[in-house]
Amino acid sequence: MWRLTIALIAIALPLGAQQPMDLVSELIDNNGLLINPHWRAQEANRQTLPDPAVLCNGFHNEDDARLFNNCSSQSPTVDEPSALQPVMYATCQAEHPTGTVHGHINWFPVTYYGHLYFLDWQTPISVNDNGVGLGDDDYDLVLVRSDRSGVTIGNHNRSTSGDIGIDVEFNAAETVDTFTAPWWTGLRARVEAHPGSWESARQIVDGKLAIITALYGIDNQHQAHAELHPVYLLAILDRDDAREQVWEFFARNWGNEGGCSQDDHHLLLPDNVVSVFFQNPSEDEKLVGIDETTTELHSRPAGATAWRAITTPHGVVVSFKLLRPQDHSIIHGELHLQKTGRSRRPSMMTARIPAPAGRPRLAREPETTKEWDVLISRLDSSQRQLFARAMTDELQGSRMQTAADREQKLHAALLATLGSEQGVQQFLKVLATLHH
């Protein structure tokens, strides 16, 4: 038996946060997480974009001392490859400032409401006339809010209206690759049909209202930008008419941070229940519950999750009871929320996130895979061909889903390419010295 508590609390959180890189908000959600947090440095003007690299001393981390210049009082943690992952350790340090975090600096899970745009898929491996490409299998998106809450100067993706967004990432092998609901299989088909050209995927994602619960952090590997990674809960408003809202969603309580990381990040909530709040579209148009005849839910492992919906005067709270984070359960599908009344005046939540006029496009700057490019650039043309074949073989039937799996596959491919363990170690030793 599990209980659901309804809460939308207006208070300033976290109390006592005074440093420029402290995340603060006036609202918390039903999970007890900050809603749409901004940096303390944005308190006077949300359009101000702090530079975490400057404020936090470049995120220097000699001997794990975390010499971050006291830029935050919230004790952010570090996720980066360790020496126990020699391939990723050397790769992520290459062409990176000595002594700085060559990975991610994480604050805590948060929830954001905004408009979503599809950026790209970091293809696990591609071989073309330009050589070998190697990605971390992440779907990259951008969440845009007009108030720029939580955005940093390192974030560059913006809508044509000029609003800069926060990067959003989740691993395909952990999520979409396992999904069976039609909208999600359709998204995957669009993404994989034309790698490198994402217009088809953008047609069904761009500009739509989304709700995201994710780990908030700074990716120090790519220009110290803010990101929501991994995503624990994603809900996308696919259709909104007079009768209902249709949301495509997934929910889980675990996930990794891609290439330059090593940890499985767990969302620790009471009873392993994760909730999402769907606010009424307006003061006159209400959400009155879920249509169970058209709502479609799928879980992995099968039958491992339960769900519940509670209607409140302000909207509908949907909660999912998952297994323990280490059990890697996930639920996905399509929620049909019934409506009543007529839309006249925007509600508080939607007023803060105005619908984009004419579906503005995103001026995209895809995240580079610099660390992989550096590794591959150190191989000659014949070695690149060998490496491409070896990685293709290693990825047959299995993506690089965990840090250990990624390390094993990369090491095996390098061994097949270079011919000996001694050759691999010498290659990594040279790679690790390529600092700025």
pLDDT in tens, 129-148: 555 666 788 999 999 999 99
Give the chain's domain count. Answer: 1
Its domain, for residue 185, covers 9-54+103-363
Q: Residue 302 domain-assigned?
A: yes
- The 10s digit of each residue's pLDDT in 370-399 is 555 667 777 887 887 788 777 777 766 666
Instruction: Indicate left, alpha or beta for 327 from its phi (over 0: left) and psi (-120 to 50: alpha).
Output: alpha
**pLDDT greater at residue 344 or residue 27:** 27
Q: Residue 283 domain-assigned?
A: yes
Beta-carbon neighbour count of residue 82 at 10 Å? 12
CA 388, distance to chain mean position in Å, is: 27
- The 10s digit of each residue's pLDDT in 289-302 is 999 999 999 999 98
Q: Residue 82 domain-assigned?
A: no
d(CA 364, CA 119): 7
Mean residue pLDDT across the chain: 83
Q: Residue 120 domain-assigned?
A: yes
Residues of the chain by 3-state class (helix, strand, coil), percent to 5: 25, 35, 40
d(CA 414, CA 422): 11
Q: Residue 407 domain-assigned?
A: no
The answer on pLDDT for 242 being more than 80 is yes
> What values do phi and psi take at 399, rounded to 5?
-85, 170
Question: Whole-model pTM?
Answer: 0.84
For 431, the enclosing helix (H) or strand (E) is: helix 421-432
Q: Residue 155 domain-assigned?
A: yes
- The 10s digit of each residue's pLDDT in 306-323 is 889 999 999 999 999 999
Going by pLDDT thresholds of 50, 70 and 90, the confidence category of residue 5 is very low
